Amino acid sequence: MNNATLSIIPISKARAQLGNLAEKTRGENYVVLTRGGEPKVVLVDFNYLINLQKAVQAIYQKTYLDPKLLPYTREFSDSEIAEWLKEDQL
Amino acid sequence: MAQRRPALKPATTVFLDSSVLFTAVNSPIGGSAKLFTLSKIKLVTSPLVLAEVERNVRKKLQGYHRERFFKLAAGIKIVEQRPDDRLIQQAQKFIVEKDAVILAEAKNSKADFLVTLDKKHFLQESVKNFLSPQKVLAPKGLLEMAK
């Protein structure tokens, strides 16, 4: 379950209370600043942002998909995948 | 009576084709996955096979399979080779065009064995002759030899 709390506040009002908003952005708590009623920027805890970036990098950095090799590869059909599973049974 | 296959020599190298690696990712209880538990053999494959399998794991399987793919790939020696167009053309004389790339990759790797689940196309005399002295067989056959 996500325990993060969310605050939404117009940028025009945020200016005067930036210090307080910075205090609110601890851990997973963040503040959305709006302009004209639309979300514009988000204040997040610095360490949370760094951890988030590391997590995203870990998920996406690993790949063997080399663009030079892809033209040599092919997409497997569902029927051959099923056939391989059958053949693989011990 | 069925003939017993000869035992494997120490440090036997085994080239995994795309069907075996993909199926090992897809099913943890089959023969392909069991190959990863054998200590007698060294599993090898090529960057091309990894790219092809990753492409299909992303397209055809679930998110958790991707994690399993990377775990299994970490246990395979990746031979440094690029597709050899001349060898692919030669392979096309012995196998259907769609499988010629993988057959050429296996030949180029110089591994002792090629393991495949594609019996229809790979486990043929013409393919065996092309690969000789390398041998081609299904995971079950290799597991039997490893007993």
Global ipTM: 0.92
Q: Can you give the pLDDT at residue A52?
A: 86
Distances (CA, A) of B42 to A5, A52, B36, B37, B50: 51, 37, 9, 11, 16
Half-sphere exposure of B88 (CA within 13 A, CB side): 13
Q: Is B140 on the interface with A (CB under 8 A)?
A: yes
CB < 8 Å to A64, chain B: 47, 50-51, 53-54, 73
Q: What is the average per-residue pLDDT within A85-90?
A: 96
The model's confidence at residue B1, banded by pLDDT at 50, 70 and 90, is low
Q: Is A79 on the interface with B (CB under 8 A)?
A: no
Q: Is B32 on the interface with A (CB under 8 A)?
A: yes
Q: Can you give the pLDDT at residue B3?
A: 61
pLDDT tens digits along B69-84: 999 999 999 999 999 9
Task: Give CATH for domain A6-89.
Answer: 3.40.1620.10
Q: Can you give the pLDDT at residue A2?
A: 52
Residue A87: how many other CB atoms lie within 10 Å: 21
pLDDT tens digits along B109-144: 999 999 999 999 999 999 999 999 999 999 999 999
Residue B40: how many other CB atoms lie within 10 Å: 14
Q: Can you give the pLDDT at residue B24?
A: 98
Domain ranges across chain A: 6-89
Report the topology of domain B12-141: Rossmann fold (3.40.50)
CB < 8 Å to B73, chain A: 64
Dist CA B57 CA B22 (whole Å): 7
Domain ranges across chain B: 12-141
Q: Indicate the angle between helix axes B63-73 and B18-26, nearest 10 degrees.
A: 120
Dist CA B95 CA A9 (whole Å): 66
